[in-house]
Structure 1
Amino acid sequence: MSTPALSASPEDLHPSLWRASQLAHATARCVDTGHATLSSQLPGGGWPTGTLIDLLPQQPGIGELRLLRPALLKVAKRRIVLLQPPHPPQALALAAMGLQPSQLIWIRSSRSTDALWAAEQVLRSGSCGALLFWQSHARGESLRRLHLAAQGGETLFFMLRPLAAAQDSSPAPLRLSLRPAVGGLEIGFVKRRGPQRDAPLFLPLTPSLLQRHATLDRAIPAPAPARSVQPELVG
């Protein structure tokens, strides 16, 4: 009787297995981050689609949108949803990033349950290129529901939560902490399918146009209430 080769790849046995000393192979389509040093540290070489990605900034506005800009531009043929951003999206800043207001849907809600419902509808519709969801607190059950909803499509799904949430469990296979640094960001690898990395990665970021001309900016009008999200709105 023959025995399996000892050199067989763990991924050959099951896609969720990988060697602890190596980055896992991506099981879903990945979108290039646009930052070569970061992409080289991620399984599949980019942001995975159809899954929950946890971004944990020290505070809002430290460069997280500039970090995501290259990937958002790649998926902008389908609309991008901004759900519960901490500040109204600014038209000038988005234009400087190459994103026009017509490519975006801004959704806000006064109730967390409505925002979670809207996020699930966007993910299940499969019609949007990306969903950015800012949420200060989310229970494990809610995260699992969103993660499951994301797996039904290829939407690029980022949850942006406070840095303190790094201490909480999450079904997200990729979790990154973001801290401001002179000239860019320090990215910590809280969780990834691959070897543990204790040292943060410094990622240089070019200052945005908004940082030089913030007083000239104007907000995108008319956010959509969360419960008004319908398939035709995100289609």
Structure 2
Amino acid sequence: MNKLLGVSPRHPGLWQDIPNSTMSKKTDIETMLSHTQGRNELKQICAQLAQLSLQGRWIVLISPPNIGYKQMLASAGVRMDRILLVHAKDEVETMWAMEKALTSGTSSAVITWTNELDARDSRRLQLVAKSAQAVGIIIENANTHLPDSTINAQGEQVNQGSLFAAMH
């Protein structure tokens, strides 16, 4: 065996040449503070999401509020068959779902709507970012409810017709 290795390094990790792998790619998790339940922030990243949806991996939306995100994404050219919705029951489950989606290797982007992160959750996400294989975006303070007049004043009305049936 020593004759086969010669003077090459003995550690197997040093034999691998992985300059273009996902392990060498550093992925950050971006946090965006929102006063519009994430509507404006989602508009900013729609073009990027459209490109990512062409990769064939999932775009994961975790606990999105009803801000008309489906119409925004579809009009930006995002492949809707690549959208995966996750409805978490609380903040703990939301962070767990984001962590799993970022590190699974099956997602190209993970967008999470959540309340303000505490120090523990921020540290946890810093650790997750080291092994993340997808773009991570956290929209903070997004679950605070806005009055309807604020949403409508922003120039786009959410089509709520499909949510309610007329009763006679």
Give TM-score, length-normalised by structure 2. Answer: 0.64
Q: 1:65 to 1:88 in 2, by over 3 A?
A: closer
Calculate percent identity across the aligned residue pairs: 21
* Cα distance between partner residues in 2 of 1:217 and 1:97: 21
Alignment-mate amino acid for residue 84 of structure 2: I
Q: Which residue of 2 aligns with 1:24?
A: none
Question: Which among 63, 71, 74 is matched to residue 51 of structure 2?
Answer: 74
User: Any conservation in 1 of the 2:37–2:67 contact (CA below 8 Å)?
Assistant: no
Matches within 5 A, 1:88-167: 90-162=69-141
* Cα distance between partner residues in 1 of 2:161 and 2:41: 19
CA shift for structure 1 position 84: 1.1
CA shift for structure 1 position 90: 4.7
Q: Which residue of 2 aligns with 1:56?
A: 33
Determine which structure has more spread, i.e. the larger CA radius of gyration: 2
Q: Which residue of 1 aligns with 2:9?
A: none
After superposition, the CA RMSD in angstroms is 2.9
1:205-226 Cα distance to aligned partner (Å, 9 max, x none) = xx7xxx37x437758xxxxxxx
User: Any conservation in 2 of the 1:93–1:217 contact (CA below 8 Å)?
Assistant: no
Q: 1:51 to 1:87 in 2, by over 3 A?
A: same
Which has the larger share of strand?
Answer: 1
Give TM-score, length-normalised by structure 1. Answer: 0.47
Detail structure 1 runs of 4+ shifted over 6 Å in the superposition: none
The gaps in structure 2 that reach 5 residues or longer are 1-23, 143-153, 164-168
Q: 1:83 to 1:151 in 2, by over 3 A?
A: same
SS of 1:130's partner is strand
User: Any conservation in 2 of the 1:82–1:106 contact (CA below 8 Å)?
Assistant: yes
User: Any conservation in 1 of the 2:98–2:112 contact (CA below 8 Å)?
Assistant: yes
Are 1:215 and 2:159 counterparts?
yes
The gaps in structure 1 that reach 5 residues or longer are 1-27, 30-48, 164-183, 185-206, 220-235
* Cα distance between partner residues in 2 of 1:160 and 1:217: 26
Which has the larger share of helix?
Answer: 2
Alignment-mate amino acid for residue 145 of structure 1: R
Alignment-mate amino acid for residue 45 of structure 2: L
SS of 1:215's partner is coil
* Cα distance between partner residues in 2 of 1:216 and 1:59: 17
Number of residue-to-residue matches in the alignment: 128
User: Any conservation in 1 of the 2:103–2:133 contact (CA below 8 Å)?
Assistant: no
